[in-house]
């Protein structure tokens, strides 16, 4: 029997992600993990062949002495909650679901752009409070002909380009891993980060959190932004110096921000960022529509069932693990059982 464990923080989304389809999968037994602790322990995972995880952390200690586990399917594209080196050392394949979140996260970024552009929150509050005649004091900031700067032009960034193009924006991007030919095909101009920050009307962070991107948008970068510009982050909070961002928003040095992610999550209820009227904040879940949930669930299950069949799954983070004798022995064992 191929045993799959699902982290308990996914219980509310389990049905919408289609996890119940595993009930019909041949040779599969699945269940939610017994505990909901943030960092998983070896005794929680050593009975499973596969894990499907939301926010649960997997550390070197988690995998200590764990021999059976063959794959961790991380829901979403971020994997900063998982010790990749420890997975590779233990012969555990780590997968993500870029195909599942691509449209959802990209449409979230566009939602922030349009909501900020049209001053949606202020107008909503104005109407509710009876301030109908004051609407002209809360006029918006049209995006046609404005410049959108994308920090990251990968999976999510390219989908944002596709969705925002009909709105007539000029798009520039900073991504050292994307070729000029790829950018040219999308009519996107590649540039350095400083130029992007100083010339964009909307700056959107949509890159992965890596050692290279940790804190890359710092105080010096924020000082380059135009006074009438907006900042959006749909990637990971630690990419941004949150204190510096709070400072420029408090001073009105930029128009506003749309944030789905924060340096510390959940963000403290008394954080000064939450007291600002020029910021739209959401709890790292604005992309989670029913269609997005189905897509990420389907992607994660394809990965786990591929391993059950002894095959290599898609979207592997630690591809070097495939050359591991431990990993190959696990895959052969699954093939022999089929």
- Residues carrying an active site annotation: 236, 265, 284
Q: What's CA 236's distance to the chain center, in Å? A: 7
d(CA 150, CA 168): 15
Partner residues linked to 189 by β-bridges: 172
Q: Is the dihedral of CA 182, 187, 192, 193 positive or negative?
A: negative
First to last CA, the chain: 10
- Comparing CA positions, the residue from 256, 318, 300 lying closest to residue 281 is 256
d(CA 107, CA 216): 24
Strand order, beta sheet including 93-95: 28-32, 2-6, 50-53, 71-74, 93-95
CA dihedral 285, 289, 294, 298 (to 10 degrees): -40
Q: What's CA 56's distance to the chain center, in Å? A: 15
* CB 142, CB 152: distance < 8 Å: no
Do β-strands 256-259 and 28-32 pair in parallel, antiparallel, or remain unpaired? unpaired
* Bond into 266 cis (ω within 30): yes
**Number of CB atoms found within 10 A of residue 142's CB:** 12
* CB 219, CB 163: distance < 8 Å: no
Question: Is residue 174 helix, strand or coil?
Answer: strand
d(CA 100, CA 91): 25
Question: Is residue 152 helix, strand or coil?
Answer: coil
């Amino acid at each position: 029997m191929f045993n799959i464990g699902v982290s308990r923080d996914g219980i509310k989304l389990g049905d919408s992600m289609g996890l119940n389809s595993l009930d019909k999968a041949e040779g599969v037994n699945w269940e939610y993990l017994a505990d909901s602790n943030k960092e998983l322990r070896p005794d929680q995972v050593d009975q499973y062949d596969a894990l499907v995880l939301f926010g649960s952390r997997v550390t070197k200690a988690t995998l200590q002495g764990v021999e059976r586990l063959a794959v961790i399917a991380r829901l979403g594209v971020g994997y900063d909650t998982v010790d990749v080196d420890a997975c590779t050392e233990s012969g555990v394949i780590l997968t993500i679901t870029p195909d599942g979140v691509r449209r959802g996260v990209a449409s979230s970024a566009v939602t922030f752009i349009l909501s900020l552009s049209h001053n949606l929150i202020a107008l909503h509050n104005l109407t509710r409070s009876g301030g109908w005649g004051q609407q002209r004091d809360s006029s918006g900031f049209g995006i046609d002909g404005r410049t959108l700067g994308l920090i990251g032009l990968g999976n999510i960034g390219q989908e944002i380009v596709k969705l925002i193009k009909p709105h007539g924006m000029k798009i520039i991007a900073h991504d050292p891993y994307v070729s000029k030919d790829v950018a040219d095909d999308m009519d996107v101009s590649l540039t350095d980060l400083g130029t992007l920050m100083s010339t964009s009307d909307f700056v959107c962070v949509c890159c992965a959190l890596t050692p290279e991107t940790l804190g890359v948008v710092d105080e010096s970068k924020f000082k380059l932004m135009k006074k009438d510009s907006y900042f959006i982050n749909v990637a990971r909070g630690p990419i941004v110096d949150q204190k510096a961002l709070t400072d420029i928003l408090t001073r009105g040095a930029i128009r506003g921000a749309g944030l789905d992610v924060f340096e510390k999550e959940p963000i403290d209820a008394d954080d000064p960022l939450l007291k600002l009227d020029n910021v739209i904040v959401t709890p790292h879940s604005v992309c989670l529509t029913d269609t997005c949930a189905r897509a990420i669930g389907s992607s994660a299950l394809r990965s786990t069932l591929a391993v059950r069949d002894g095959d290599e799954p898609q979207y592997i983070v630690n591809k070097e693990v495939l050359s591991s004798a431990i990993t190959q022995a696990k895959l052969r064992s699954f093939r022999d059982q089929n």
